[in-house]
Amino acid sequence: MSSPPIHPNLQQRRESFARRAESLIERKYAISTDKSGELIITVQGDLTQQEKRAVFLTVHDLGCNHASFQDFVNSPCMTEIKERSCFIHVDVPGHADNSGALSDNFAFPSLQTLGEDLVTVLDYLHVKYVIGLGEGAGANVLARFGLKHPSRCLGLILINCTGSAATVLETFKTKFISWKGDEVGQGAEDFLLYHKFGHAFNEQLVGDNPDKEKIVQDFQSRLHSTLNSKNVKQYVKTFMTRKDLPLKNCKVDILLITGMLSPYSTVVEKLHKDTDKEKVTMMKIERAGDVLADAPAKVAQSILLFCKGQGLLTSVVMPGVDRQRAFSTSSGGSNGEPRRLSRGMSMEEYDKPNIRRLSITVNDQLPPIQSKK
């Protein structure tokens, strides 16, 4: 006697519970690379399910480590994306929590070298391809990864990415005169705060996030307690001496994100101006310096739009779109026909990446992603 069929709603609840449990899995790895030394990797999510998930590779900015992206991924606006994704967070050399000082004879890698060596992380973890998600210096690193290894990169989401060295170096040159020795002095701290939070920090803590002040305090606390000051200085020096970024030669789709109050907004605009507009889209967010802190919901929304354009996260419904209509008409299958969510297709099967290229239009006025009941 056959067992009775499982009610569709019960099946969806079971799948939702399983996804939530998988998203809570966290593992750490120490991976040796050819030229960049040892990288500490934090993985959120179950990589054994990568065929059914979007896989993101993140690289942090100056004065931070993987915790900056981990905090963002754990925010409520990212719940739907997190449950259907895996995140591979990279700590650049010497930036893991409570790391000791790097050896004096260790040559801190250039941003180019770091980007090229990231493929070692994917090979070690047996990951086929990823979407790069980086901020500031980390965005520059991931852009170089995408240029070097386009076959392993489905797309790039780059926050406050700079394309040239000259403008930033000239602007902030005097701020580093006060960085004496290996300690983060007041001048260096002021630079890192301005680099991270932008004009909003100098004037007032503006933005949509009511926890902005706490975020700034946590940044300062990590800078002085969790991170090794000598290693932070090495990453900053590498960023300040970087080479130009030939992003116009990139073969993958790119989303550039910046805040209107970021010190790098005009630099990002210039970078966008020099790129192939069919491949590169730019999003500027008002009243934001650090977009991850000031406008996390808008960043989450733009990530979702970008991923849908790559055939990923297709079962996450955009706000204001009827769920049944979205399931029947959204991303197409391999033969170009619409993929319909029938009784024979589970939510996990619907989430399976459909690798293709679509143009996207970003609307930063969209409301936050709604979690399913």
pLDDT digit string (tens) for 167-200? 555 445 545 545 666 677 777 888 888 888 875 4
Is 289 a residue whose pLDDT tops 90? no
Residue type at 358?
L
Q: Residues 153-168, buried b or exposed e (16+ Cβ, 10 A)?
A: bbbbbbbbbbbebeeb
320 lies in some domain: yes
358 lies in some domain: no
Alpha helix ranges (H) inside the chain = 8-23, 67-73, 79-82, 111-125, 137-148, 166-172, 186-197, 199-203, 212-221, 229-240, 265-273, 291-294, 296-309, 323-329, 347-351
Is 8 a residue whose pLDDT tops 50? yes
15 lies in some domain: no
199 lies in some domain: yes
Q: What is the pTM for the complete model shown? A: 0.80
Query: Looking at per-residue confidence, does 363 or 49 come out higher?
Result: 49
* Greatest Cα pair distance in the chain: 80
3 lies in some domain: no
Q: Which of 133, 136, 107 is nearest to 118 (CA)?
A: 133
pLDDT digit string (tens) for 102-123? 999 999 999 999 999 999 999 9
Rounded CA separation 25/23 (Å)? 6
Is 149 a residue whose pLDDT tops 90? yes
Instruction: Count Cβ atoms below 10 Å from residue 60 Cβ, excluding itself.
Output: 25
362 lies in some domain: no
Distance of CA 139 to the CA centre of its chain: 8
pLDDT digit string (tens) for 217-238? 888 888 888 999 999 999 988 9
pLDDT digit string (tens) for 315-371? 887 654 444 444 444 444 444 444 443 334 444 554 555 444 333 334 444 444 444
- Domain of residue 81, residue span: 23-351
16 lies in some domain: no
CATH assignment at residue 257:
3.40.50.1820
370 lies in some domain: no
Asked if residues 41 and 127 have their Cβ atoms less than 8 Å apart, the reply is no
Is 44 a residue whose pLDDT tops 90? yes
pLDDT digit string (tens) for 259-280? 998 889 999 999 999 898 899 9
* Token pair for 17: 């519970």
Asked if residues 350 and 303 have their Cβ atoms less than 8 Å apart, the reply is no
Query: In total, how many domains does the chain have?
Result: 1
